[in-house]
Amino acid sequence: MKYEQLAKDIIKNVGGKENINSVVHCITRLRFKLKDESKAQTEVLKNMDGVVTVMKSGGQYQVVIGNHVSDVYKAVLAEGGLETASTEDDGGEKTGLFNRFIDMISGIFTPILGVLAASGMIKGFNALFVAFGWLDDKGGTYQILNAIGDGLFYFLPILLGYTAMKKFGGTPFLGMVIAMALVYPALEGIPKAADPLYTLFSGTMIESPVYIEFFGIPVILMTYSMSVIPIIVSAFFAAKLEKFFTKVIPSVVRMFLVPMFTLLIIIPLTFIIIGPIATWASQLLGTATVGVYDLSPVIAGAFLGGLWLLFVMFGLHWGLVPIAMNNFANPGYDPILALIFAHSFALAGAILAVWIKSNNQKTKTLSAPAFISSIFGVTEPGMYGIALPLKKPFIFTIISSAIGGAMLGLFGTTGYVMGGLGVFQLPSFIPKGGLDMSVYGAIIAAAVAMVLAFVLTYFFGGINKNEGSKTTEPAVEPQKSGAVEVKTEEILSPLTGTVKELTDIKDETFASGMLGKGVAIEPTEGKVIAPASGTVSALFPTKHAIGITTDYGAELLIHVGMDTVNLEGKYFTAHVAQGDRIDVGQILLEFDADKIKEAGYILSTPVIVTNHDSYGSLLTTEAKEVKVNDLLITLDNEKK
């Protein structure tokens, strides 16, 4: 298997298969639910070939892989003997209400995103063919293509019934049967074929004609095809009900009596109570969403367009997906996903500028597939691999995406179906009347965002400055003493504090010397100073660790504290960026030592030479206390 070794390494570094509650994947990420996230080796994973980065959000431990994530996912399942998902908490880490909501939504919608996008693309292209006059909307070809694209959306509750029940810990097929009852054609057709028996809530906004009763109880018939909220709510209660019956019904008849009693109770309950209330709530949600958009489409576009990449980074976009899908059912169109159309093109423009201008061969190699992925709407490779590390391209992407979003709002671009991503989303904007300015406006907005991001990044992105030199030659000539070249390199102390042996710290990876040789310092001041002149080769997003390549080729790692990656940047301030040129004595990082200790973390800070095996010898100071700029490590420059 091509990704067998990568899968083994990922499983090992998330804490082993015994630490995994569940794993699913989206377009670019493996989404783990771990029993104990502290067991995961985040930094090791981030530096593995085949892994773009690691994110923790929404109660999930997300390993970003890229476009081939589905293949890696299959390998992870095979190597770990894992199920595609697990619904039990198994004593895992407790998360907040918002995180649980995001996790629930992503768990329900992630499994069907691919086929959902595919159906939307077919439906969108079918509308495009009619608009161009290539197909007759009364012809058989159009009808069959429309059935392919529209079938999933009409019966969407059935798919959601499966995924929602699975997420809530119930039997997925029970969720499907509940949904089948909701979209049963004979019930949906009753209002068209009969007069109402009477009307409930007359004169109110929820006035409802009643056509049938269930044992004398009025049933308010709703249209549940294409709906989202009713089946999810129903599945939640159905899962609880099924668990109750599983406990009280004898095992010998449990196989058929549990589903029978569950269905007999939950389906009538859904028609009588859950369905109408959930439908009214969804209608209110749709009206409110469109109402906010109507207040100022331009501001809404700038806000959503500019912040969408940040939403994706933290998993917050999952909170908007069900709202958008709900809007497709009621009122029948959605502006939310339309307003973020330009963001992937803005990122593509920024990456294209990096690709053209960069002198770094590795960056150029990464840029090519990242650019193509962004055009097709898959932004994680470009965002995490190119834009974020270089920082300015990411900022320019946000600015350009906000302007593109504002233009989309100005042109009134709206989605009429859940479409694809990137260029494949465009057909979903075509209204029934055919191509209009809202569609042409989407093309203009995407083009403007892409060109603007390209120009800003190319001229002001500081690309080669941020990446450092394209060669590995020293930035300055080696230090001389008279006519004799100095054969030793001195690394000064970046911190003030107490010196400790690496073997004395409570981290096996550092203590074993696996990552390099050096010393640890127990800091008494919250500042990290450059121990030598050179280049910042790595700065972790969490700002707790920094890598430096000195002018003489030594590769240093300064890691502030143990497991402080879990603070996700809290209490840390960076004064440099990856790729920056630094001089000895320059301030690199600041941290709040007291706050970090109060949060329960150890501040022992390894200062190590990761390429120590390139030197003849490495000597560390014998002093027990050091101040900033005191001699800490001496390297013999003569190679072994």
- Catalytic positions, please? 26, 559
CA distance 122 to 110: 20
Radius of gyration of the chain (CA): 29
Candidates 611, 620, 462; CA nearest to 550 is 611
Candidates 42, 41, 23; CA nearest to 33 is 23
Residue 579 near residue 465, CB atoms below 8 Å: yes
CA distance 222 to 280: 10
DSSP class of residue 533?
S
- Residue 498: other Cβ atoms inside 10 A: 15
Return the C-alpha torsion angle 272, 277, 282, 284, nearest 10. 140
Sign of CA dihedral 218, 224, 228, 234: positive
DSSP class of residue 597?
H
β 517-523/605-609 pair status: antiparallel
CA distance 372 to 86: 34
CA 459 to chain centre: 29
Sign of CA dihedral 451, 454, 460, 461: positive
Candidates 304, 295, 291; CA nearest to 404 is 304
β 625-626/555-559 pair status: unpaired
Token pair of 218 as six digits: 């009025």
CA distance 286 to 417: 15
Show Cβ contacts of residue 570 under 8 Å, excluding neighbours closer than 6 positions.
595, 599
Helices then strands, counting H and E runs in the chain, come out as 25, 24
